[in-house]
Every structure is written in C-alpha cells, then in structure tokens.
Chain A
C-alpha cells in the first residue's frame, strides 16, 4: 500500500502540468446522420492559449460543447485536469468557464444581477460574491453599466458580460467560442491582453475564431479542424516556420517581376486593387534578404509585408488541400 501511494505521489508534482489543461482523445459525436465530430484529438495545455480553427460547420462548437461537459461524446474520452466530466461532474464544472457563441443573456436582469446569480449557481462563498462581482465588472469595463438591464447593452458589451460570466468562478480552463465577434477594435485588443494575462496565471484557454490574424497575436498553438476531424495541430512558431506568404508591390511591376525571376523565385501575380505579386518565404531572414536584394537592384519597392498571418497561411493551405 505504502509503495503504491508513493508511486502515486511521486509523479503528482510534475504531473500537474501533464494532467493540467483539457484533453480530448479520439472523440466522436454525431447528430442523427450528421457526423459533427469524428475521431477528433485536441489538447489545450495549462498556461497556453490554444486556438481552435476551422471553417463554418467544421465541428468547432460541437467540440467545445463536449469540452464544456454539456454534450457527451459518442466515443472517445475527455479529461479536464485529469478529471472525467461524466463521473466527476461537479469537480469538472468548477474548473471550466464556458462562453457560448450565442449571447444568451437574461435581458431583464442587470449585469450585476446576472453575475451574482452565476456566482450563486457556482456555489461561491456567499460573503465574497458581491466583491467578486464588482471586480469582474471592473475587469470587463462594465462598472458604469452594472445596474442597467442587460437588454440595453450593445452586442460588444453583452459579449464582455458573457466573458465575465465565464470567469466568475475563477475557472482554470476557459472555453471561448468566438469571443471576438462583435467586438470593436479597442475591445479586441483588451480581450487579447486579458487572455494573455489569464494564460500567464496558468489557465488553459481555448479560443475558437475565424479572425485568424487576431489569433496570431494571442494563440500559442492552433488546432485546425475540418469536416469534424483534426486536420493539423501546430504551435504558432511552427506555423511561422512553415513559411509565410509575402506581398510585394513596386512602382514598376515588370522590373519587380524581372528581378524575382532572375533570383529564381516562384511568385504569383495578385489581382488585387493595386498590382502586386506574392510569394512564399521560409522565414523572416529570407524576407529581409529579399528586400535588400530588391532595393539594391533598384526596384522601387512600394510595400513589402506579410500577406497573411501565419495561422491564416496554414488555414488557406488546408483549404487548398481540401479541394
């Protein structure tokens, strides 16, 4: 017995990071004939922001519902910090904060009342609830509107309220379904900062989104899904290392084309509003070298910039592979 317990105890220390976060292994879920999620693998480690990327109908929301322990997978397993949502329901729920893609607001209640109710539903100690609610309202900048009925809040404000609602019980796993939709640019930056902060506190954060350039800045890693399957799982560094498309525009398009041909680079003429070409470059050093070469060759470069985010590049490639 003692030996057994020791064995259990020894890995417990380092195991926190391994068992931390949220993991789905080979989960499948179908609705009638529609196979929404098929054999999907997913892992969001603690202390990281993991992006869940995929086209509409790829199974992102279904996966998030399963991760949030609302939907049971037909097969496969889900563990939240080493716990099983089927059997350790309450323990799992205490650890999960879920922000749905639908707003879902009790319209006649005020923001403060909504958060207070949520705190009660999460059985937080009653004495601390009022303070906790005030803190959360501050954190999402809704203090001024705290006592207005939620129906007068704008979409972006309701979105922030929804985020505060997901955070009220200080969960260690945060599942955000399209958190940036409807947010103005200022709020997006705020959301980004906030998510980085939360990740730094050691929470595992899952963000699903279509706004890929956004995710480049916040996500440490991305899981690409399509047709209910995990297509690729990579970190943002890996994505960046896989090469990135750059768009180059010059005053004289033909001179640019000639120089690129001379350098032996394959490029593509883009039919955007302004004439430009685009080409794949492996890394930032390559880009710097090419820019220097072009300028030294006397090509009047007007702009030279990444055409897309690193994640977007992968995403578009996946889309291409699909066809």
Chain B
C-alpha cells in the first residue's frame, strides 16, 4: 500500500468532496465540448428561437385583433391592463411544452450512446466514480437544455414588458422551467444508463414525459372516478342573489356568502384529495402553481373567476387537493372558503414526487454504472 508511487500520483489533498466535484466538472467539460461542437444543437437552438418568437408575435397579434374586434362591435371593455398576462401564459406554456420535448433528446442517449460508441468504458476504467460520470452527464445535459430556456427568455420578458406582470413572475417561471427541465434530464440520463439502446431509452423517456403531462391527467380523472365517497354536510342557505348590476355599485361581498344550518347528512362527494397527487405531478401544474398570483376576493358575481390560465390551473389543482372536506359547501357544518381562495400550494408535493422519481432513476442508473460490474443489462456489452 505504501509504495512511493501512491503518494506521488495522488492529487494535492483538497478534501474528498472537492475531488468528487472536480471529477464531475471534468466530465461536464468533456460532454459540453462535444455538444458545443455538434451543429445539430445550434440548428435546434435557432429553430427554437424562431418558433418561440413566432408564437409570441402571433399571440400578441391575435390579442390586438381581438381587442380591435371588441372595440368595433361592443362597448364592453374588460378592465385588463394589457396583453402581458396572455402573452406570458402562452409563451410559458409553449416553452414548457418544447422544453419537455427537447430535454429527452438531449439527455436520453447520454450513457448508452457512449456505450454504443465504446467511449463509456474508457471513462469507467479511469479513477472516475460511477456517480461522477452520471452527475457529469446529467449536468451537461441540463446545461444544454437550459440554453433553450435562455433563448426563450427574451420572449418571456416581452410578456412582462407589455404589462400586467412583474419581473418576479419571469424569475419564478424560469426557475420552475429550469427545474422541470432538470427533472426530465435526470429521467433521461437515468433511463439511458439502464436501457441498452439509445433509441429505446429516448422513446421511454418521451413516454415518461407523456406520462407526466397526459398520464397524470388521465390517471387523476380515472382515479377520481374510483374515489366516490360521502361527506357529512348540512344545508347551505345562500344569501339572496343580488340582481345583475354593474360591479362598481356592488357592496363589498361578505364571506362566506352562505350559512350552514340543519342536521348533518351524508352527501355524495368525490374524494379528489386521494388522487390529487397524480395531478400534482403534471409539469404544467407544478409550474403554474408555483407562479404567484394575488388571492382574489370574490367579486360581484358571487363566484369569482380566475384570471388567466395559470391561475385557473393552479386553483383547479388546489381545489382537487383540498377535496370535499375543504370545498364542499357546509361540509361538517362549516362554511368553506371560496373556490378562488385555496391557498395551500400543491407544487411542493408534485415537484417532490417528480424529484423522487428522478432520483430513483438516477440511482438505478448509478447502480448499472458501477464497476467491476456484476450484472449487465440484457444485450449490453460493457466495452
């Protein structure tokens, strides 16, 4: 053990943690050098930029056209400030959609692509530890995907500049987009370490993303159908409806707008809170729910309506999370807060579950990168 070569070749001691990070950085450098030299990445980036610009411009144009039409044919004007919120929402949804589509392509062949090219074993035979290889690949894929977000930042800023939004919105939105892209990249890198062929792992990663986006909705809907139950509630006595009048003349609404009376009875209700975690895993829900919006007091119509898609998605998800216990009128004889006032955020749960899944895949991937290898996936050759 104590041969002179040992100490001679050992790097200057800077703590084991620093050495581990240095190894990750070396792998990231290796990966990024290769990515930055491939033309495909630049072409994709350019297409992305043009597409996002196009969507932004079309949204703005259509909002303008709508406003013109409204101005021409009716005297009713919505008291909104500008197209900012709408442009912001459309661009955000679009960027998230494309980020979810691009991230698997950038990450899901990271490990098995190298395996196929015979370059993975060359890394594995060095002093690099499997975790360093995997983290390096992950950070490189994430960085490559983040470049796409950076390219779309100007358009999100335009959304703010056109009014209605604060810079805080952009910061939070970009942060959440970055995290979501990171989750997908972790999926991709983990799956690519597990699957034999790049094509297979890319398809599986796309399916996993589809599972998050659509599968979460479908499973929530199906799960809600299976969550029929009852709730103890009594009768709600609504205040008399005021006849329709212009809003300005309405007195400030009184919360709640009903009182509960009578004996508690079993009422049929759907216990959405049992399956809301599925909904929470949807990337759109996570992003929308994390973006702050003001808690609105109910307006004159008795029912407040959310403003904008972000708020609608967020409130819908929070409503499902609260379940009938929190939303059914007079559940347990208590008046419940209104539809729009669900303030318990859902995104920490959703993001937590996503991170758990990503962590699981990365861990499985790490296991498959350990050397000397005991088990090999079917059909994989180590070198």
Interface residues of A (CB under 8 A from B): 31-32, 61, 65-66, 68-73, 85-86, 89-91, 93-94, 96, 98, 100-106, 108-109, 113, 117-118, 120-125, 149, 165, 169, 172
Contact = CB atoms under 8 A, between A and B. Distances in A.
Contacts of A165: 122
A86 B123 CA distance: 17
Given A72-B372, A108-B38, A121-B23, 19 more contacts: A65-B382, A65-B383, A69-B371, A70-B124, A70-B383, A71-B382, A72-B371, A100-B118, A100-B383, A101-B383, A102-B383, A104-B118, A104-B122, A108-B34, A108-B37, A118-B126, A123-B19, A125-B11, A149-B37
Nearest to B375: A72
Contacts of B33: 108-109, 113
Contact of A70 (B19, B30, B125): B125
A104 B121 contact: yes
A72 B125 contact: no
B6 interface: yes
Contacts, number: 95
Contact of B127 (A61, A70, A71, A121): A121
Contacts of B376: 31
Nearest to A95: B5
Contacts of B119: 104-106
B125 A93 contact: yes
Contacts of B37: 108, 149
Interface of B: 1, 5-6, 9-12, 19, 23, 26, 29-30, 33-34, 37-38, 117-119, 121-128, 371-374, 376, 378, 382-383
B123 A70 contact: no
Contact of A93 (B11, B12, B117, B126): B126
Nearest to B120: A104
Given A94-B127, A100-B121, A70 B382 contact: yes
Contacts of A68: 125
Given A118-B126, A124-B9, A106 B38 contact: no
A128 B1 CA distance: 24
A99 to B, nearest CB: 10
A182 to B, nearest CB: 14
23 contacts: A68-B125, A70-B372, A70-B382, A71-B372, A91-B1, A93-B126, A94-B6, A100-B383, A102-B383, A104-B119, A104-B121, A104-B383, A106-B34, A106-B119, A109-B34, A121-B123, A121-B126, A123-B9, A123-B10, A123-B11, A123-B19, A125-B11, A172-B5
Q: Sorted from nearest, which 8 A-B pairs have the closest CB atoms? A: A104-B118, A102-B118, A72-B372, A121-B126, A108-B37, A123-B11, A104-B119, A120-B26
B270 to A, nearest CB: 49
A158 B383 CA distance: 16
A86 B11 contact: no
Contacts of B122: 100, 104, 118, 165
A128 to B, nearest CB: 11
Nearest to B376: A31
Contacts of A61: 383
A68 B124 CA distance: 10
A90 B119 CA distance: 20
B118 A70 contact: no
B3 to A, nearest CB: 9
B84 to A, nearest CB: 42
A68 B382 CA distance: 12
A117 B124 CA distance: 13
Contacts of B10: 123
Contacts of A108: 33-34, 37-38
Contacts of B19: 123
B259 to A, nearest CB: 72
Nearest to A72: B372
A98 B125 contact: yes
Contacts of A105: 119
A247 B12 CA distance: 61
A65 B373 CA distance: 10
- Point out which of B30, B37, B372 has the most chain A C-beta atoms below 10 A from its C-beta: B372
Nearest to A124: B9
A96 B122 CA distance: 12
A94 B383 contact: no
Contacts of B5: 94, 172
Contacts of B373: 70-72
A2 to B, nearest CB: 18
A70 B124 CA distance: 7
Contacts of B378: 32
A34 B9 CA distance: 40
A310 B316 CA distance: 82
A120 B127 CA distance: 9
Given A104-B117, A106-B119, A93 B383 contact: no
B383 A121 contact: no
Nearest to B123: A121
Given A70-B373, A72-B373, A85-B372, A122 B121 contact: no
A192 to B, nearest CB: 24
A121 B28 CA distance: 12
A155 to B, nearest CB: 13
B231 to A, nearest CB: 55
B298 to A, nearest CB: 60
A106 B26 CA distance: 14
Contacts of A109: 30, 33-34
Contacts of A169: 9
B371 A117 contact: no
Contacts of A85: 372
Nearest to B119: A104
Nearest to B29: A117
Contacts of A113: 33
Contacts of A172: 5
A61 B376 CA distance: 15
